[in-house]
């Protein structure tokens, strides 16, 4: 029976280790201020990985950086939600809008990090409340003063990004423009630069290129087409309404200051210096050197630290258990040996 004591201790240490890990999880949840229902927790347990797609041309919210890594405010916010909610996001390989949108409609993508809620899209997606906003701007050549307001695009050759909802809206607003369709925001700038278009109506993220790429120093933001028109939500596949409430709680845990810090990191506030007649700004943007890799890589780091904790705990359990087991097998002193030992100790005291 005495041999069972080390085994009992091993089980006790296992219970303590499990309780420690559980406490850490509860602490993280309480810090984030997120209270998931039991049904929501159970749903996440049944869905170990969630496939997420990012628009690679939505500066400064999600875009492919110079070294091929996904970067931007939305990427970092989704990474934070992954931490706080315990969701493992697996990034869909394509960042081309049409490709990833069709993949989501076909059920090959579960979540799109940024999408404007439109009535026709409700057939396939549920949406969170908007968490990012983006303006539309008119970009022209630096020496062209014709585009001081949105009305000035009438009858002109205007570059628009194909397959984006806003391009349909611009054509409805001004049916007499001559659209020049391009595949990306950057190509829209190139079309203006090369004279293929008089101007371009693009996302305000165009400022990122104008300020960070010297090859576009002959272009400018001439005017605002629509202020904060593009209200970006997280789009979730229609048959997963549970995930909508989970992500809503994650977004609600972000303070306004926290969210603004992510936005300002990739789209710094404008300085006071502006041109008198339009919205051209003069700022300096330095892209952070920290690489924002795909969100699922964060899970590898978390798994490493959890694994390290478990490994250390098991090592302690094995060492302590082994020591106690050896101790329990050590031969016990007989009653005769105890008496002899006691007498010897008495004799030694007398000699001293």
Distance of CA 164 to the CA centre of its chain: 23
Q: Are residues 260 and 317 in the same domain?
A: no
Q: What is the pLDDT of residue 68?
A: 85
Residue 319 pLDDT greater than 80, yes or no: no
Q: Are residues 194 and 265 in the same domain?
A: no
Q: What value does the mean pLDDT of the chain take?
A: 76
CB 202 within 8 A of CB 150: no
Residue numbers of the domain that contains 172 = 134-229
Environment class of 235 (CB within 10 Å of its CB; exposed 0-12, middle 13-18, buried 19+)? buried
Contacts of 302 (CB under 8 A, 6+ apart): 83
What is the domain count for the chain?
A: 3
Reduced to 3 states (helix: H, G, I; strand: E, B; else coil), residue 108 is coil
Residue 156 pLDDT greater than 80, yes or no: yes
Q: Are residues 71 and 119 in the same domain?
A: yes
Q: What is the pLDDT of residue 349?
A: 40
Report if pTM > 0.75: no
**pLDDT, greater one: 345 or 243:** 243
CB atoms within 10 A of CB 100: 22
Residue 290 lies inside a defined structural domain of this protein: no
Q: Are residues 312 and 249 in the same domain?
A: no
Q: Are residues 43 and 125 in the same domain?
A: yes
Q: Are residues 273 and 159 in the same domain?
A: no
Q: Are residues 115 and 237 in the same domain?
A: yes
Q: Are residues 124 and 241 in the same domain?
A: yes
Residue 107 lies inside a defined structural domain of this protein: yes
Q: Are residues 13 and 56 in the same domain?
A: no
Q: Taking residues 284-301, what's their average pLDDT? A: 36
Residue 201 pLDDT greater than 70, yes or no: yes
User: Pick from 79, 112, 54: which is nearest to 234 by CA?
Assistant: 112
Q: For the CA atoms of the chain, what is the radius of gyration? A: 31
pLDDT one-digit tens code per residue, 331-342:
444 443 443 344
Residue 347 lies inside a defined structural domain of this protein: no
Q: What is the pLDDT of residue 257?
A: 87
CB 79 within 8 A of CB 295: yes
Lowest-confidence region among 30-44, 70-84, 173-187, 267-281: 267-281
Residue 283 lies inside a defined structural domain of this protein: no
Residue 55 lies inside a defined structural domain of this protein: yes
Q: Are residues 49 and 177 in the same domain?
A: no
């Amino acid at each position: 029976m005495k041999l069972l004591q080390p085994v009992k201790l091993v089980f006790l240490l296992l219970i303590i280790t499990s309780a420690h890990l559980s406490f850490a999880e509860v602490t993280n949840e309480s810090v984030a201020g997120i209270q998931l229902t039991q049904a929501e927790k159970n749903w996440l347990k049944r869905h170990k990985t969630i496939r997420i797609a990012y628009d690679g041309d939505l500066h400064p919210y999600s875009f492919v950086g110079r070294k091929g890594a996904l970067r931007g405010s939305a990427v970092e916010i989704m990474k934070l939600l992954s931490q706080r909610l315990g969701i493992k996001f697996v990034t869909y390989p394509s960042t081309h809008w049409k490709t990833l949108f069709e993949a989501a409609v076909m059920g090959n993508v579960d979540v799109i990090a940024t999408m404007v809620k439109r009535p026709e899209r409700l057939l396939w997606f549920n949406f969170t409340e908007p968490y990012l906003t983006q303006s539309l701007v008119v970009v022209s050549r630096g020496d062209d003063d014709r585009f001081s307001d949105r009305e000035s695009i009438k009858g002109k050759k205007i570059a628009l990004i194909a397959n984006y909802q806003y391009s349909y809206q611009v054509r409805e607003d001004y049916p007499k423009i001559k659209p020049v369709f391009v595949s990306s925001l950057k190509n829209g700038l190139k079309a203006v630069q090369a004279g293929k278009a008089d101007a371009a109506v693009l996302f305000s993220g165009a400022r990122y290129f104008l300020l960070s790429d010297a090859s576009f120093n002959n272009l400018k933001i001439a005017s605002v087409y629509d202020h904060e028109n593009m209200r970006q939500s997280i789009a979730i596949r229609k048959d997963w309404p549970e995930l909508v409430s989970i992500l809503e709680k994650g977004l609600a845990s972000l303070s306004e200051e926290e969210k603004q810090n992510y936005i300002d990191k990739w789209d710094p506030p404008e300085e006071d210096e502006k041109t008198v007649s339009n919205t051209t700004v003069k700022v300096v943007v330095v892209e952070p050197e920290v690489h924002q890799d795909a969100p699922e890589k964060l899970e590898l780091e978390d798994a490493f630290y959890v694994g390290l904790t478990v490994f250390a705990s098991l090592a302690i359990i094995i060492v302590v258990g082994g020591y106690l087991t050896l101790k329990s097998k050590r031969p016990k002193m007989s009653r005769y040996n105890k008496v002899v030992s006691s007498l010897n100790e008495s004799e030694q005291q007398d000699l001293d």
